């Protein structure tokens, strides 16, 4: 069977294209897919060792079988879209990938409710220096439909632990300048300790499972920045500590 594979970030750069086609036998696994890509596109082999595969917008284990018609994407370690059609905007208003400037006030309004005694906001901005090197700008890229789905998943996980918490997440893509806002998360809860705990959980999970990448542009070049918290494993269980 012929499998169309979507590429992102450094993979797409090195391949020189956003999509490749790979020939696989029927019933091939994700592990077999990665091996085939490495063989047919050797320039990607080194990068593939730290990548995960998404099948139908869900992270897939190596033994997962690929079926004809599956949507397949190879995802390098995340760093941490497109505007939604009008008829979907209300459904996804709390969870958005957008190329427009972000506002913390907008998210506060989305989660504020009569039961909330505390609203916590996390605002991530573009800093000028990273590991001693001056950053000129950042470019963010996302697998937009999967990113929104994973944001919703995080909100559901928060609800399981803090039933009265309400969550909203917006992340920006495209070129950002120094001090511009890249991500905003708002959490409303009855008490401040719940909003602090749920907010920390939400941002850590966003960095772990939401497929968003950044390309940091330095004065002496540029480099895709991946997961910065150790080996990336989006299939790992959430940290409930």
Asked whether the beta carbons of 139 and 223 are under 8 A apart, the reply is no
Asked whether the beta carbons of 83 and 97 are under 8 A apart, the reply is no
pLDDT score for 20: 96
DSSP code for 179: T
Quickly count: other Cβ atoms within 10 Å of residue 123's Cβ: 14
pLDDT score for 220: 78
- Give pLDDT tens digits for 22-74: 999 999 999 999 999 999 999 999 999 889 999 999 999 999 999 999 999 99
Strand partners, 224: 215
Q: What is the pTM of this model?
A: 0.81
Strand partners, 72: 5, 55
pLDDT score for 80: 58
Q: Rounded to an integer, what distance in angstroms lies between the CA atom of residue 241 and that of residue 220?
A: 40
pLDDT score for 119: 97
- Give pLDDT tens digits for 180-200: 999 999 999 999 999 999 999
pLDDT score for 145: 94
Helix (H) or strand (E) holding 26: none
Q: Rounded to an integer, what distance in angstroms lies between the CA atom of residue 160 and that of residue 163?
A: 6
The CATH code that applies to domain 2-75 is 3.10.20.30
Query: Any idea where the domains of the chain sit in the sequence?
Result: 2-75, 86-225
pLDDT at 229 over 80: no
CATH number of 86-225: 3.90.1170.40, 3.40.50.620, 3.40.630.10, 3.40.50.720? 3.90.1170.40
């Amino acid at each position: 069977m012929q499998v169309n594979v979507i590429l992102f970030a450094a993979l797409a750069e090195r391949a020189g294209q956003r999509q490749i086609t790979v020939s696989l036998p029927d019933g091939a696994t994700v592990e077999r897919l990665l091996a085939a890509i490495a063989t047919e596109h050797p320039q990607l082999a080194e990068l593939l060792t730290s990548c995960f595969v998404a099948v139908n917008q869900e992270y897939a284990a190596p033994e997962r079988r690929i079926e004809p018609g599956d949507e397949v994407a190879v995802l390098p370690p995340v760093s941490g879209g497109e505007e939604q059609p009008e008829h979907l905007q209300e459904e996804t208003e709390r969870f958005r990938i957008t190329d427009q400037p972000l506002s913390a006030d907008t998210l506060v309004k989305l989660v504020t409710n009569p039961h909330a005694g505390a609203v916590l906001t996390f605002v991530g901005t573009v800093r000028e220096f990273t590991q001693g090197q001056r950053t000129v700008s950042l470019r963010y890229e996302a697998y937009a439909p999967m990113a929104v789905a994973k944001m919703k998943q995080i909100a559901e996980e928060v609800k399981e632990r803090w039933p009265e918490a309400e969550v909203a997440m917006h992340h920006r893509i495209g070129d950002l300048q120094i001090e511009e806002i890249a991500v905003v998360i708002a959490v409303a809860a009855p008490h401040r300790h719940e909003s602090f705990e749920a907010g920390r959980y939400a941002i850590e999970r966003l960095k772990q499972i939401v497929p968003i990448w950044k390309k940091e542009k330095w004065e002496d070049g540029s480099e895709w920045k991946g997961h910065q918290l150790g080996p990336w494993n989006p299939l790992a269980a959430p940290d409930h500590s």
